[in-house]
């Protein structure tokens, strides 16, 4: 892997564990997105939306068709889990809360905003690459 890629990500995401990654493609998208968002003027709303899109994509890849849940199915469990204090929540409570927000995200999503956020990420990356190449000339 290009050492500069690792150094770049490490400089903006010092907690990233990159020792085992052999290529830039093997680094988790969220780790790269975090570094880019810290280095640029990326709006928090765009980063949050891209994090949710990534979670939705990954989640849909690992689900079997039998695992389909609806907001109505999970809402009672969510209400019970969300009422618990921060230190009272079990790993299962956290999973239920994350699942509820995932389903809520999917339901009624305006995908034009998702598309806009992806285009905005591309523009941020291109703009910063242009700065790097301009500064190195």
pLDDT per position as a tens digit, 13-64: 888 888 887 677 788 888 888 888 888 878 888 888 888 788 777 777 666 5
Domain boundaries, the chain: 40-69+107-135
- The percent of residues in the chain predicted with pLDDT above 70, rounded, is 81
- Label residue 50 exposed, middle or buried (CB < 10 Å: 0-12, 13-18, 19+): buried
- Say how far apart CA 54 and CA 114 lie, in whole Å: 11
**What are the contacts of 44-47 at 24+ separation with CB within 8 A?**
46/117, 46/120, 46/121
- Say how far apart CA 56 and CA 10 lie, in whole Å: 26
Give me the mean pLDDT over the 51-79 stretch: 75
pTM of the predicted structure, to 2 decimals: 0.59
R_g (Cα) of the chain, nearest Å: 18
Contacts of 59 (CB under 8 A, 6+ apart): 102
Q: In the predicted model, is pLDDT for residue 4 greater than 90?
A: no
Q: In the predicted model, is pLDDT for residue 131 greater than 80?
A: no
Higher pLDDT among residues 109 and 124, named by residue: 124
**What confidence score (pLDDT) does residue 1 get?**
43
């Amino acid at each position: 892997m290009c050492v500069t890629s690792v150094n770049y990500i490490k400089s903006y995401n010092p907690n990233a564990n990159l020792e085992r990654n052999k290529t830039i493609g093997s680094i988790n998208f969220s780790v790269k997105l975090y570094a880019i968002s810290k280095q640029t003027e990326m709006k928090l709303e765009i980063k949050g939306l891209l994090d949710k899109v990534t979670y939705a994509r990954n989640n849909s890849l690992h689900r079997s068709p039998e695992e389909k849940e609806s907001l109505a199915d999970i809402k009672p469990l969510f209400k019970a889990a969300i009422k618990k204090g921060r230190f009272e929540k079990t790993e299962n409570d956290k999973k239920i809360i994350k699942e509820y927000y995932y389903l809520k995200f999917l339901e009624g999503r305006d995908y034009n905003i998702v598309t806009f956020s992806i285009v905005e990420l591309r523009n941020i990356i291109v703009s910063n690459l242009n700065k790097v190449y301009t500064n190195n000339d």
